Chain A
C-alpha cells in the first residue's frame, strides 16, 4: 500500500508500563498469602496472564502448582489455595463447593480469591449464602488494560457485550470508567473527550466520578484526545465479512489475545503452532492492514527480496561471510520462517473461502449495504439456510439484512425464521428472542401506527408504568437508521468508478471499497469538526447520547494527535485497520481500547440461546 498520507505521525506512548503495573500488583497480592500455595486460574484469564507474567515469576512468589478452573472437585494437596478469577457467580459457587467439601472432609486450608478486574457484591453474596464467607479472603486485582500491541489495548471482557447490550446490566460501566481512569492517570490529562452512546456516556461519567476522588498533578500529557463509542451505535460493521488480512485471519483462525493457533494445514507439520501476531512480526506488520488481494503479491515480492539477500553470500570471502552469518543470517532466517508461515496461512484462507463461494457471499453483503436487489439477497440467504451452511453465518446474514433494512418485513421474518428453525433446530426460538431484544434481528413494525397505539393505550390505562415496563424488556433494541445514515455520511461510495485496492483512497478499502465502516466514519467526522456541530441530523439518527468535553489541560501538539478510541462492546480488526489508515491520512495516531476484540461470530455466539 502506498502511504500517501502524512508521515509525521507522533510516537505512541509506551504501554508496556501497564503490563508491569499489573504484574507487580499481582505479585503483591500473591504475597498477601505467604507460603506455598496452589493457584487456580479461570480458563479465559490464562492467556491474558501469559502476556504479563510467566511461571517463573509465579514460582518466585511461592506458587506451587497451577490449575485451570474446571468446575470439578480438586485434587490439590496444598494447604493454601488461591483462585484467580473473573467475578462470576458460577465460579464463586464452585469455590464454595470446594471449601464445603474440605470442611466435610475435615481438611483445613487457607483460601484466597483474587477477583479481576473487580469483585461484585453478587459474588460475595454467594459466599455468604453458601456459608463460607469467613473462610475465604478476597482481593481485587485491577488488571484492567492488557496491551495486545503497540496500538491495541484490550479489557478482555468478552461478557461485556452480552451483559450490556442484551441483559442491560450496567455492572461493567464502572470497570470501563476505571480503565479510562487508569489511562488518564498514567498518560493524561486528556484535553478533549468525545463520545456517543448510552454506555459511553455512563463510562465517561463514572471516570469523572473516580477522577474527582483524587487530585491530578500537572504533568506532560501523552494522550490528547479520547473517543468513546458504543458497539450498538454501529452493529452493521461487525456483521460484514472481513477482507483485510488481520481480520480474515481472525474470522478464520480466531486470534485469541493477540495470538493465533494455526492448524496442521498451515504449520506444514503434524503439530499445530501458536504464533503471536503483532508489530514485532515484521512480515505480518506489513500485511495486516492490506486488503487480501494485495497480500499475495506482497509476499512473493518479499520472497524475491529474501532470495536476493541470501544470494549475497555468493562470492564472499571468509571475513565477509563471518559478518554475514553473525549479523544478517539470523534475521533472514526468521523472516524466512515468518514468510513461509503467512504464505501457508494465506493459502489456507484462500482454500476455505473458495470452498464456500466467498464471492457470492460478498456480493450479497455489498448489495445489502447498498440496498440493492434485496429480493435476490433474501433468496441467497434462504439458500444458505436450506443447505444448512454454518449456523452463525446464516444468522449473520439475517442480522445484516435486518440492520440495513431497519427490520424485516413481517412476511419475510416469519418465513426466514421458520426455515432457520427447520434447518438448525427449534430451540433457536431462544436465539431469535435474544436477537430481537438486542435489536440485531427484528421484525418491522407495521407502520408507526402500532407504536402510537401502544403509547396511547399505555397513557390511558395508568401512569407511566406501562411504558417503563415495556422499556425493561425491549428498550435495548435501538432504532436502526442505517439507510439514512449511509446517505448522510456517504458510507457506500458511488459504484460506477473503479476502486483500486492497492491505492486505497478512503477507509472503504477494508470492505473492498464497498462500504466505509460507520463507526470509523463518525470518528473521522467528529475529529475533523472538533465536536458534533454540523452532525445534528446524524446524532439524531444515532439515537443521541453524544458529548464532547474539553478538559482543563491543554496538551502539547504531539499529544493532540494521539487519539484513544474506546469501543464499548468490542472492536473488529477491520475497524482497527480502517483507523490506522485514517491515522496515516490525517497525521493522527489511534490507540484502540476495546472491551474485547469482536467479530461477527463472537458477537452472535454470545447471543445464541441454544445452550443451557
Chain B
C-alpha cells in the first residue's frame, strides 16, 4: 500500500534542492506520510474485508459500465453467448429499486410528477411517424388551416405537423421566420430540412442569405450529417452573393477550409500530397497560402527522407539507426518534429542535403530561436555535448569566444537537465545564467558544487568583477522601477519584500559572509526564496527551518573550502 522506505528516501533526496518546487510543503507531506506508515503497521485482523466493503470506490459490483465491459469481454470469448456473471444474479435479489411506477404517480409532489409521467406516456402512446409525410387530405378533416405560428408552436411541443401544406414560398419563409423567432434549434432545423427538400438550392440559398440564424443552423445540420457536397455548394453560392467583400471572403474562407479539411481523412502520403496541391488553387488568405505551400513541401521532403532512411535502416549500414532505432515514421509530422528528427539523425550533413537541419531551416524559414531549441534538445538527447557546445559558439568583437544563446540560460539548463545531462555539462551553463540568485538556485538544484564554491569564493575575495558590477547596477535600476518591485511580494509569498530582496542582493555583493549567516537567522537564503517563489502557495517558515539549516550548512562548508 505504501511505498517502501527506501523509495521514499530517494524521492526526498532527489527533490531536496530543486528550485521552484513546493518543497516547503514537503515537510507536511512527509510528516503525514510517515504518520501513515506507522498506521499501516498496526496489527490488522480484518483489513482485507474492510477494504473490499468500503463503498467509495467508483464502481460497485453491478455498475453498468463494468457490466458493459464484461459483456464486451465475454462477447469476444464466446461470440454473443455472453451472459451476466452469476454475481449479478445474487445482487438482483438484494437490490430493489424501492420505487415502483405507481409511486411515481402518487408521489408527494403530485402535480409536477404526474405531468412528467403524463408527457412520457403521451409520447410513447402515439405512433411517432413524422406527420410531415402524411397526405394532406387526411389531416384536413382533423384540423383547419394552420398558420405558420401554430405550426411552429405544435412542433415545439413535439407534435406532428403536416408541413406539406406550406407550399407557396411566402408561407415557407414565414414558417422559417416564426421558427427562428421561437428560438428552438430543433424546430428551425426541421423547417430547414423541409425547405431543403421542397425548394431548389438556388432559391433556398438566396433566401437564407438574409437570415443568419437559419443559415447557421443549416451549416450545422449539413456538417453534422456529413453532407459536405451541399455545404460546399452553399458556401460557394454565398460567396457569389454580390455584397460586401467581407461577406464574400467569409464564405470563401469557409469553403476553402471545408475543402481543405478533407485531407485529414487521407492516410496515403502520395494521395495526401496531391490533394493538398489541389488545395493550393483555392482562395486561402495570403498567410495561409504560405502555410499550405509549406505543408506540401514538408510532406514531399518527408517522403524523401522516409524513403532514404527506411532503406538505410533496413540495410543496417547506418550505425545511428542501430543505436537509436526509429520509433515511427516521420511522415505527416509537424515541421518542428521533422526538424528534431533531422537534428537527431542527420545533424552533420552538408547543407545541400535534403535532410540537413540547416537546409530545413532555410527552406522553411524557421526562426533562430526555434532552430536553437530543437537542435539543442536533439543533440542533448544524443549526448553529443560537443555539438551542444558548438551551438553556443560566438565571438565577441575582441575575438574571445563567448557563449551566446538566443534563449535564456535558465531554459538551456532546463532542456539539458531534461535530457539528463551530467553535472559537468550542466555546470558550465548554470554558470552562464545572468541572474545571480537564479544561478545559485540552479547550482543547488543540479548539485553543481564547484559552482557554488566558485561563487562563494568570488564573493569572499570581494573581487568585484565587471559582471558583478553590472549586476549591481542592474539591481539598482530595478530598485528604481516601483512597478516591478511591487509585484515581487506576491511571488515571495513568505513575506520577503521585493525591495528587501533587492537590497539584499546588492548587499550580498558587498559581504557574502554576512549574507549567508544572516540567512540562517532570518531563514531566507536564495534557495529558500526559490522554494517560496511558487507564487501564492503560502510558505510555512517553520517547516522550512530544518531544510534551511542543512542548506546554510552546506553553503558554509563549501565556502570554507
Contact = CB atoms under 8 A, between A and B. Distances in A.
Contacts of A333: 47, 50, 54
A122 B217 CA distance: 11
Given A23-B97, A498-B495, A468 B212 contact: yes
A57 B95 contact: yes
Contact of B123 (A140, A300, A417, A463): A140
Given A67-B72, A163-B220, A426-B295, A612 B88 contact: no
Contacts of B20: 354, 357-360
Given A66-B71, A300-B28, A343-B32, A134 B3 contact: no
B528 interface: no
A128 interface: yes
A68 interface: yes
A71 interface: no
B56 A41 contact: no
Contacts of A496: 486, 489
A468 B210 contact: yes
A258 B113 CA distance: 26
A321 B22 CA distance: 41
Interface stretch (B239-247, B394-402, B472-480, B519-527): B239-247
Given A307-B38, A472-B215, A294 B538 contact: yes
B56 A276 contact: yes
B199 interface: no
Interface in A131-150: 133-134, 137-142
B33 interface: yes
A471 B212 contact: yes
Interface string A559-587: 00000000000000000000000000000
A501 B536 contact: yes
Contacts of A499: 490, 536
Contact of B216 (A46, A168, A462, A513): A168
Interface in B477-496: 483, 486-487, 489-491, 493, 495
Interface string B76-90: 000111111000110
A314 B188 CA distance: 73
A68 B220 CA distance: 26
Contacts of B82: 65
Contact of B99 (A20, A202, A423, A500): A20
Contacts of B104: 21, 24-25, 28
Given A66-B64, A346-B29, A513 B490 contact: yes
B36 A383 contact: no
Given A50-B63, A174-B186, A513-B490, A281 B538 contact: no
Interface core residue of A65, A307, A414 (most chain B CB under 10 Å): A65
B189 A120 contact: yes
Contact of A24 (B80, B99, B245): B99
A430 B261 contact: yes
Contact of B212 (A170, A291, A336, A475): A475
A387 B373 contact: yes
A122 B193 contact: yes
B536 A429 contact: no
A273 interface: yes
B50 A75 contact: no
A419 B336 CA distance: 9
A174 B158 CA distance: 12
A74 to B, nearest CB: 9
Contacts of A169: 185, 189, 216-217, 220-221
Contacts of B81: 77
A220 to B, nearest CB: 11
A-side binding surface: helix, strand, loop or mixed? Answer: helix
Contact of B183 (A59, A170, A338, A500): A170
Contacts of A77: 80-81
A125 B35 contact: no
B202 to A, nearest CB: 16
B117 A137 contact: no
Contact of A297 (B28, B36, B113, B193): B28
Contacts of B250: 469-470, 473-474
B514 interface: no
B425 interface: no
A359 B18 CA distance: 13
B294 interface: yes
A457 B29 contact: no
Given A422-B335, A422-B336, A170 B39 contact: no
Nearest to B93: A56
Interface in A437-473: 454, 457-458, 461-466, 468-473
Interface stretch (B127-135, B382-390, B449-457, B546-554): B127-135
A359 B21 CA distance: 8
Contacts of B101: 24, 27-28, 31
A485 B291 CA distance: 36
Contacts of A425: 333-334
A505 interface: no
B247 A433 contact: no
Contact of B337 (A142, A302, A388): A388
Most chain-A Cβ atoms within 10 A of its Cβ — which of B103, B193, B212, B337?
B212
Interface stretch (B137-145, B252-260, B300-308): B252-260
A350 interface: yes
Interface stretch (B313-321, B342-350, B363-371, B460-468): B363-371
A478 interface: no
B62 A54 contact: yes
A29 interface: yes
B233 interface: no
B21 A354 contact: yes
Nearest to B25: A296
Nearest to A503: B538
Given A334-B56, A343-B36, 19 more contacts: A50-B63, A55-B62, A169-B220, A206-B183, A260-B58, A275-B58, A306-B39, A358-B534, A359-B535, A360-B20, A386-B336, A387-B373, A421-B291, A422-B364, A422-B370, A429-B260, A462-B242, A468-B212, A612-B264
30 contacts: A21-B116, A25-B104, A57-B95, A57-B97, A65-B71, A65-B83, A75-B75, A76-B80, A88-B224, A119-B158, A170-B188, A276-B57, A293-B25, A294-B538, A299-B28, A300-B32, A302-B32, A303-B31, A303-B35, A304-B32, A306-B35, A343-B29, A366-B535, A422-B364, A454-B246, A457-B245, A469-B251, A475-B212, A495-B489, A512-B537
Give the top 7 A-B pairs by smallest Cβ distance, nearest first.
A274-B58, A512-B536, A171-B185, A170-B185, A185-B112, A121-B190, A300-B32
